[in-house]
Amino acid sequence: MVDFSTSNAGLRFTCPACGEELFLENPSPERAAEDAGTPAVAGEQGISTPAREPPVEATESVVCPKCGHAQRDDYACHLCGLVFARFDPASLPPVPGEIEQLWRQIENRPGDESLHRQFQQQALAAGLLEYATRQYRILGRLPGHDELAGRMLQRLQNQAQARLLPGTLVRSGTSRRGFGRRGWMLIIALALVSGLLHFAWKYGAFSFLSGR
């Protein structure tokens, strides 16, 4: 009868006739998987496989340098029509350092309402509505900032419209008042002429019928 013993390393056989020993080594999980042509099973023999990375989704990685619109097409902006290859950074209006500093503070403290008010007021006063809009669109692409950026964009547009409306309202109000006075004068004049014509016709017809 052949004597044998087992261990984690393999099997050891001893011949009772001659005393010769034969050792068979246990194959590692990786070696066994290679021999079988199949991947090793995670968790067996203390071997673990790295987790598979999730697939990378296509994102709108192209940002227009003029208006801040994000898209996948790298030829021309779908919002403002800028052809990216023809863009010249020198064509953008210069931004005062104070406004740039305010925006850097907003990037560090995006929830500070007072900073947003100062930035918007100074940007509109300097005629930099396009710059401010671009900055907020870029801010909206950051995780967790889309709602804030959308709200600030709406506020910026409202303030820009409010700067234009007062003069328009004054001019239109003046026009309405002027047209109203002229209209009333015209109505009164027409009423007088109509009354005179009616009186003349009535008096003339009465004279004609009476033979005078």
CB 50 within 8 A of CB 58: no
Q: Dihedral sign, CA of 129, 134, 135, 141? A: positive
User: Taking a C-beta distance cutoff of 8 angstroms, is the pair 83, 75 a contact?
Assistant: yes
6 by DSSP, 3-state: which? strand
Task: List beta partners, residue 10.
Answer: 25
pLDDT tens per residue across all 212 residues of the chain: 556 566 666 666 566 667 676 666 666 555 555 555 544 444 444 444 444 444 433 456 899 999 999 999 999 999 999 999 999 999 999 999 999 999 999 999 999 999 999 999 999 999 999 999 999 999 999 999 999 999 999 999 999 998 887 655 445 444 445 556 666 777 787 777 676 776 665 655 445 445 55
Q: What is the pLDDT, as a whole number, of residue 48?
A: 40
Instruction: Round to whole Å and give the CA distance between 198 and 72.
Output: 77
What secondary structure letter does DSSP report for 74?
S
pLDDT of residue 165: 73
Chain Cα centroid distance, residue 118: 21
Strand, helix or coil for residue 72:
coil
Output the six-digit token pair for 134. Answer: 């671009």
Give residue 207's pLDDT: 52
- DSSP one-letter code for 111: T
Place of tokens 């902006």: 77
122, 99 Cβ separation under 8 angstroms: yes
Residue 194, CA distances (Å) to 31, 182, 202 in order: 116, 18, 12
CA dihedral in degrees (17, 23, 24, 28; nearest 10)? 160
Structure confidence at residue 32 (pLDDT): 53
Domain definitions of the chain by residue range: 1-28, 67-161
